[in-house]
Amino acid sequence: MEHSWAIGNGQLVIQLGDLTTMDTDAIVNAANSKLAGGGGVDGAIHCAAGVDRLQNACREIISQIGRLPAGQAVITPGFNLSARHIIHTVGPIWRGGSNDEPALLRQAYQNSLELARQYGLESIAFPAISCGVYGYPMVEGARIALGALKHGLEAGLVRKAFMILRTQDTLDLWLREADATL
């Protein structure tokens, strides 16, 4: 079941699901700075998109930029995914909150939305960036993400933004934060 909010001329949807199966213009990969694949969302996206082709595309980007800093975003084709594109962004590793983590997390969402607008994409699906192995506290991460998504939808950067969550407990937490934030 999806939960949705009308924001500006767009819509925010929060639901349980598998990000790799979303039929959107883009999905967002919570990537590492070398775009090298890995565990969690990143590994699942690489497997579903086709490891060889996605890694080749990522290596080409890294050969040009060296590494992708936290808060920044780049785009590749979706390859074997239903989504036409993958926007790769690096969220901050949680180090207690005094190393610009909130600003960097906000930038990861904002820059992903800006990149979607630059490519004329209307729908985008996000995971809970940095809230897994990078250790970002879920409540604070949800507040930052929801604020950034609300701002992006109000600015007309996309028409539809999805937050795709993996467990009922996580969904319940995000819905509570959405009710308080939106």
Domain assignments of the chain as residue spans, ordered by start:
2-181
55 by DSSP, 3-state: which?
helix
Longest dimension (CA), the chain: 43
Residues 133-141: contacts with CB within 8 Å, 24+ apart?
A: 133/39, 133/40, 134/30, 134/91, 134/92, 134/93, 134/94, 135/93, 135/94, 136/91, 136/92, 136/94, 136/101, 136/105, 137/94, 138/170, 138/173, 139/173, 139/177, 140/97, 140/102, 141/105
CB atoms within 10 A of CB 65: 12
Q: What is the mean pLDDT of the chain?
A: 97
Q: pLDDT tens digits, residue range 64-74? A: 999 999 999 99
Give the pLDDT confidence score for residue 67 in this predicted structure.
Answer: 97
Match 């949705």 to its residue by tokens: 4
Give the pLDDT confidence score for residue 140 in this predicted structure.
Answer: 97
Q: pLDDT tens digits, residue range 105-142? A: 999 999 999 999 999 999 999 999 999 999 999 999 99
- Residue 112 near residue 90 (C-beta atoms within 8 A): no
- Residue 110 near residue 142 (C-beta atoms within 8 A): no
pLDDT surpassing 90 at residue 1: no
Give the pLDDT confidence score for residue 51 in this predicted structure.
Answer: 96
pTM above 0.75, yes or no: yes
> Annotated catalytic sites, by residue?
42
2-181 adopts what CATH topology? Leucine Aminopeptidase, subunit E; domain 1 (3.40.220)
Q: What percent of the chain has pLDDT over 70?
A: 100
